[in-house]
């Protein structure tokens, strides 16, 4: 009688988990449970989210993450430091990784509490900076919003402005709002007009929709602060996009592309 062969499928994930303390944890999960793979300790707490990418195209993933010790860190997949870049303020912004100048090499773009947005090369060297008049908590959004073949960099600041920069870090436009911006902008073609629209929230209680020139198309007032970053998708697959975001009015809201409420869900806090 032939013996039965048993096969075991082993699934392993590496989860990078920042917390509001000074450690970056890599947690390994498999079919037997969860175990700590490695940690990397910074000199202050971590509010930035990790970005995982093969930044140098060497078939090995790197982890990029900011800390309130004023540094942006690049770690290898074993948790060893590759490079770090020091700013003059807390780095709460999650970095955006993109080839903004189409040279087949990505750049690293992020904000700091020193009021500055930084653009670095893959080795952590500064390419350019842009200074605002407030902290930059938001994560930059990179998109070709006017479809001219060049990428724009969009982010908010606590100086009550949304900024749009060129790929070289030059100012294209700003849009003023009534309070701080902690919400990272989302972009999508909401009205089928060829160009992309920009959607973001502010602590003035409003969700804003701008066109590619920075002109206001509509706002939606939740009566409470909006720190949530919006998500945009065709939820019901009817060919029209919806906008989903949260507010400090304890609600998750869904709007149509014209800023009209479709539904809301009230949480407990």
Banded model confidence at residue 37, pLDDT cuts 50, 70, 90: confident
Q: 37 vs 75, which has greater pLDDT? A: 75
pLDDT in tens, 76-86: 999 999 999 99
Mean pLDDT of 80-107: 96
Edge-first strand order for the sheet with 71-76 is 51-53, 62-66, 71-76, 81-86
Residue 256: predicted pLDDT: 97
Residue 31: predicted pLDDT: 55
Q: How many CB atoms lie within 10 A of CB 43?
A: 10
Residue 56: predicted pLDDT: 85
Question: Residue 144: pLDDT above 80?
Answer: yes
How does 200-236 read in b/e, with b if 16+ C-beta sit within 10 Å?
bbbbbbbbbbbbbebeebbbbebeebbbbbbebeeee
pLDDT in tens, 246-264: 999 999 999 999 999 999 9
Percent of the chain with pLDDT over 70: 88
Banded model confidence at residue 130, pLDDT cuts 50, 70, 90: very high
Banded model confidence at residue 192, pLDDT cuts 50, 70, 90: confident
Look at 6-15, 36-45, 180-189, 238-247 and tell me which has the smallest mean pLDDT: 6-15
What separation in angstroms does the CA of 71 have from each of 38, 82, 112, 180?
20, 13, 9, 23
Token pair, residue 176, equals 């003023």
Question: Residue 41: pLDDT above 70?
Answer: yes
HSE at residue 163, side-chain half, CA atoms within 13 A, is 30
């Amino acid at each position: 009688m032939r013996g039965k062969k048993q096969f075991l499928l082993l699934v392993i994930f590496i989860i990078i988990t920042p917390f509001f303390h000074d450690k970056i944890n890599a947690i390994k999960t498999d079919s037997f449970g969860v175990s700590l793979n490695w940690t990397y300790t910074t000199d202050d707490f971590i509010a930035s989210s990790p970005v995982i990418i093969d930044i140098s195209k060497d078939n090995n993933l790197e982890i990029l993450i900011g800390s309130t010790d004023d540094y942006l860190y690049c770690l290898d997949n074993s948790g060893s430091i590759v490079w770090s870049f020091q700013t003059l303020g807390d780095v709460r912004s999650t970095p955006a990784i993109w080839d903004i100048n189409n040279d087949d090499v990505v750049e690293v773009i992020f904000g700091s509490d020193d009021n500055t947005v930084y653009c670095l090369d893959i080795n952590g060297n500064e390419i350019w900076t842009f200074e605002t008049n407030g902290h930059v908590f938001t994560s930059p959004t990179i998109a070709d919003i006017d479809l001219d073949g060049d990428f724009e960099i969009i982010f908010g600041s606590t100086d009550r402005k949304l900024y749009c920069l060129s790929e070289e870090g030059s100012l294209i436009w700003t849009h003023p709002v009534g309070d701080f911006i902690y919400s990272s902008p989302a972009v999508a073609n909401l009205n089928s007009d060829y160009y992309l629209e920009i959607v973001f929230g502010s602590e003035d209680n409003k969700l804003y929709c701008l066109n590619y020139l920075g002109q206001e198309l509509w706002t939606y007032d939740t009566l409470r602060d909006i720190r949530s970053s919006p998500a945009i998708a065709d939820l019901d697959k009817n060919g029209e996009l919806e906008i989903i975001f949260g507010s400090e009015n304890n609600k998750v809201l869904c709007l149509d592309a014209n800023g009209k409420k479709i539904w809301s869900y009230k949480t407990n806090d």
